[in-house]
Amino acid sequence: MSLDVTVGGTTTQSYASVAEADAYLTFRGGTAAWFLLTTTVKEQQLQWAGVLIDTLYFTGIKCSLLQAMEWPRFGIVDKNGYYPPTTSIPQPVKNAQIEMAFQLVASDWSQGIGPITAQSVKVGTIEQTGKSHKPFPAPVIAQLKQFLRSSPNTGGMLVRG
Q: Which conformational region is residue 21 in: left (phi greater than 0), alpha (psi within -120 to 50 degrees), or beta?
A: alpha
| Nearest-angstrom CA–CA distance, 13 and 84 | 21
Q: Which residues contact 158 (CB under 8 A, 6 or more apart)?
A: 149, 150
Q: What percent of the chain has pLDDT over 90?
A: 68
Q: What is the pLDDT of residue 156?
A: 45
CA–CA separation, 28 vs 22, rounded Å?
Answer: 10
Query: Which pLDDT score, from 0 to 100, does residue 134 have?
Result: 62
Q: What share of the chain is helix, strand, coil (3-state, %, to 5)?
A: 35, 15, 50
Whole-number Å distance between alpha carbons of 109 and 116: 7
Bridge partners (DSSP) listed for residue 64: none
Please give the mean pLDDT across all residues of the chain.
86
Give the burial string for 100-109 (b: 16+ CB within 10 Å, else e): bbbbbbeeeb
For the cut 90, the answer to whether the pLDDT of residue 138 exceeds it is no
* Predicted pLDDT at 14: 98
Q: What is the pLDDT of residue 131?
A: 59
Segments of the chain assigned E as strands: 61-62, 73-74, 116-123, 126-133
- Does the pLDDT at position 34 exceed 90? yes
Task: Give residues with Cβ within 8 angstroms of 130, minimum separation 6.
Answer: 118, 119, 120
With bands split at pLDDT 50, 70 and 90, how would you rate the model's confidence at 122? confident
Nearest to 35 by CA among 19, 13, 16, 48: 19
**pLDDT tens profile 94-106:** 999 999 999 999 8
pLDDT in tens, 40-60: 999 999 999 999 999 999 999
pLDDT tens profile 107-117: 866 655 554 55
d(CA 61, CA 59): 7
